[in-house]
Amino acid sequence: MSGHQADEPNRCESRGTSRRPRSIRPAVEGLSVENGTPILHELLASLHEGVVIADGDCRIVAISEAFTAITGYSSEDVVGRHPACLAADRCAVPPADDWPNGGIPSEMCGRRKDGTPFPARLKAAEVRGGDGRVTHRIIVFSDLTEDREKERLIWRLAHYDRLTDLPNYTLLLDRLKMLLAAAKREDGVVAAVVIDLDHFKTINDSLGHAVGDEVLRVTARRIADAVLATDTAARRGGDQFIVVLPHLRTADDAATVAENLMQAVAQPIALDNQRISVTPSIGIGLYPDNHGEAEGLIRCADAAMCHAKGLGRNSFQYFTPAMNTRAQERLALESALRNGIARNEFSLHYQPQVRIGDGALVGVEALLRWQPRGGAAVPPAKFIPVAEDCGFIVELGEWVLREACRQRGRWTGMGFPDFTVAVNCSALQFRQQNFIEKVLGAVAEFGLSAGTLELELTESIMMVNPESAGRLLHDLTAAGIAIAIDDFGTGYSSLAYLKRLPVGRLKIDASFVRQLGTDPTDHAIVSAIIALGKSLKLELVAEGVENAMLLETLAGLGCTVAQGYHICHPVDASDLEDWIARRS
């Protein structure tokens, strides 16, 4: 549940400004305020409103008894002061000196002696002497605290569900309309998610309504907890809830939330020595794909929810079949990925990097391969982004790191020379608090010598937070880990930072290298990168070298290391060993 406050009536606010104070000339003329008269005292004692009487200079000369009751200030506290001293600072009240001239607000936020604010309605009048000059100003105010409390209570009753304390359908619809208007302006993606509990009637009928109510209360809390503070979870009525997700990056994000909601709702509920299980059927309607209006979007989600029920309940469905298929595939891929490590479905291939001058092997890049059991191999371009989105890349990256270090240790044991093993690191992995411990742990565990492990990071990983990235890179290099910038040229780099980072190599992205001989722009880019790298004293590695001509051109431009199909495809460890043996 979130943002309730924003929708509630303001507890204490200034509303409007009255015109110039009314002049009441002859009626109170002759009442000497300073001396006091019985009539005036009677009057001030009998009124329920707070009354302030100030002189022509706007200094308080008398107050009513109700004034003290409302504000806590006695005469001694305020006589001689300006009436504006009662206004709470944060309220828009004209500066004290403007009061006699600019008029005073018809409503304002006052401040009691104990500091608490209170809303007040004001009326002001002036008393003029025979010469027309203002001799006194009278301000009458009433405390609106109780009125406002009642307003708030009524508003809350009208907008919140009494059983679960979630926003009700009316409030949800209001918010959805506002969010859709914002999404239209900002090209946003919004989802309406309808959640219906499966077989809830059976719980009500067999266990009674008190248990049914408790199940709804617990479920409501779980739903509210499963979404972000910026989302809105509401009870529509009966056993139906609606969640609005306003800040989605893509339509697929709604599936992740739906999955979380399914899990949260399906947890057994312990009640009176029994465990009650209830599953949800969930339908998702999306703006802009399905509908542009609030009610229409909810209708789409309703239809999708019914479809989920029809398919056997306890599942979620998108409104359109195409989205459905995509989301289901993605989730299937995600769950298959998560199982892949335990099932030994991942392996590493290694692609050699050679010195262009003499063809010597200087390193290999470890590239992840996934061969799901009983299925076709999935290319990294397909599964790495999914693993990144769902956070699994951290675990997977750790596996790669350890496996690459293990292999490097094994090669050392077999007497192979000290070529480096380069491991690709994702942004998420790099940002883990314990990243450096993991890296150094793997290096120590497999006894790697300094300089034999290289981490490949992209420019954007370092540029998100250059200072902390810089510190981390310095610590890594101090521990003998080499750093390469991968896919250089495709992201944003600040040369100023690049200069300060302890980077050893720049890898020129294959997309520039591929057309080096044929595209003058690519030729210009590659030669500029090489010149830049040289000036920063970095080693340059060209990726995607597919033929001899490219190799020759790169050599001419001063590039020192090459990697690509022309030299060797990525191969498994034993094929790499054969390749090395053949070359030597």
Using alpha carbons only, what angle is made at residue 118 by residues 115 and 119, rounded to the nearest 5 degrees? 150
Q: Per CB under 6 A, which region of 243-251, 410-418, 459-467, 544-552 contacts ligand C2E? A: 544-552
Measured CA distances, 49 to 66, 150, 298, 320, 426 (Å): 6, 19, 50, 63, 68
**CB of residue 278 to Mg ion, shortest distance in Å:** 47
Q: 127 or 425, CB closer to ligand C2E?
A: 425
**Applying CB under 6 A, which part among 182-190, 234-242, 374-382, 517-525 lies near ligand C2E?**
374-382
CA distance 193 to 244: 6
Q: With binding defined as CB under 6 A, does residue 380 bind ligand C2E?
A: yes
Nearer to ligand C2E, 161 or 403 (CB): 403
Please report how close the Cβ of residue 353 comes to Mg ion at its closest, in angstroms. Answer: 10
CA 534/CA 301 separation, integer angstroms:
58
Using CB under 6 A, which of 14, 219, 420, 424 touches ligand C2E? 424
Q: Please, which of residues 451-470 interact with ligand C2E by CB under 6 A?
A: 456
Q: Which position among 324, 564, 576, 579 is part of the footprint of ligand C2E (CB under 6 A)?
A: 564
What number of chain residues touch ligand C2E (CB under 6 A)? Answer: 23
Q: Terminus-to-terminus CA distance in the chain, angstroms?
A: 68
Nearer to ligand C2E, 289 or 546 (CB): 546
Report, in Å, the least distance between residue 441 CB and Mg ion.
Answer: 22
Asked if 397 is part of the footprint of ligand C2E (rule: CB under 6 A), the reply reads yes
User: Is the CB of 359 or the CB of 379 nearer to ligand C2E?
Assistant: 379
Residue in 510, 532, 555, 573 binding ligand C2E, rule: CB under 6 A: 510
C-alpha 118, offset from chain centre: 36
483 Ramachandran zone, left/alpha/beta (phi>0; psi -120 to 50): beta
Q: In the complex with Mg ion, which residue's Cβ is closer, 227 or 576?
A: 576
Q: Which of 223, 384, 484, 538 binds ligand C2E (CB under 6 A)?
A: 384
Nearest-approach distance from CB 556 to Mg ion, in angstroms: 22
Q: Is 483 in the site for ligand C2E (CB under 6 A)?
A: no
Distance (Å, rounded) from C-alpha 65 to C-alpha 75? Answer: 9
What does 120 interact with, of Mg ion, ligand C2E, none (CB < 5 to 8 A by kind)? Answer: none
CA–CA separation, 92 vs 83, rounded Å? Answer: 15
The residue type at 392? F
Q: Please, which residue, 64 or 351, has the CB nearer to Mg ion? A: 351
Residue 400's binding partner, choosing from Mg ion, ligand C2E, none, with beta-carbon cut-off 5 to 8 A by kind?
A: ligand C2E
Query: How far is it, in rounded angstroms, from Cα 217 to Cα 205?
Result: 17
- Quick one: tokens of 183? 């999404």
Candidate segments 35-43, 134-142, 405-413, 539-547, binder of ligand C2E by CB under 6 A: 539-547
**Residue 192 contacts residue 176 (beta carbons within 8 Å):** yes
Q: Which of ligand C2E, Mg ion, none does 317 bind, CB closer than 5 to 8 A by kind?
A: none
Query: Would you state the structure tokens that stand for residue 551, as one six-digit string?
Result: 């190799």
Do residues 318 and 284 lie in contact, with contact meaning Cβ atoms separated by under 8 Å? Answer: yes
Range in contact with ligand C2E (rule: CB under 6 A) among 45-53, 62-70, 176-184, 420-428: 420-428
Candidates 30-38, 139-147, 248-256, 375-383: pick the segment binding ligand C2E (CB under 6 A): 375-383
Of the listed pieces 146-154, 171-179, 469-477, 543-551, which binds ligand C2E according to CB under 6 A?
A: 543-551
Q: Measured between alpha carbons, how far is residue 61 from residues 44, 58, 79, 139, 461 in Å?
A: 12, 9, 5, 12, 69
User: Which residue stretch of 81-89, 139-147, 312-320, 422-430 sits at the interface with ligand C2E (rule: CB under 6 A)?
Assistant: 422-430
Nearest distance from C-beta of residue 500 to Mg ion, angstroms: 23
The yes or no reply on residue 420 touching ligand C2E (CB under 6 A) is no
Find the helix or strand (DSSP H, E) in which 406 lies. Answer: helix 393-413
Identify the DSSP state of 167.
B
Which of positions 342-371 make contact with ligand C2E (CB under 6 A)?
Answer: 351, 367-368
Contact indicator for 426, 397 with CB cutoff of 8 Å: yes
The smaller minimum CB distance to ligand C2E, of residues 231 and 487, is found at: 487
Is 297 in contact with 303 (CB distance < 8 Å)? no
Q: Which is nearer to ligand C2E, 192 or 387 (CB)?
A: 387
Q: Which residues bind Mg ion (CB under 5 A)?
A: 424, 456, 486-487, 543
* Cβ pair 409, 448 in contact under 8 A: yes
Residue of 190, 400, 421, 508 that binds ligand C2E (CB under 6 A)? 400
C-alpha to C-alpha distance for 314 and 340, rounded to whole angstroms: 25
Instruction: In whole angstroms, give the CA distance from residue 455 to residue 151.
Output: 62
The DSSP code sequence of 174-201 is HHHHHHHHHHHHHT-EEEEEEEEETTHH
Contact 113, 67 (CB under 8 A): no
Instruction: Give contact residues for ligand C2E (rule: CB under 6 A).
Output: 351, 367-368, 379-381, 384, 397, 400, 424-426, 456, 486-487, 510, 543-546, 564-565, 570
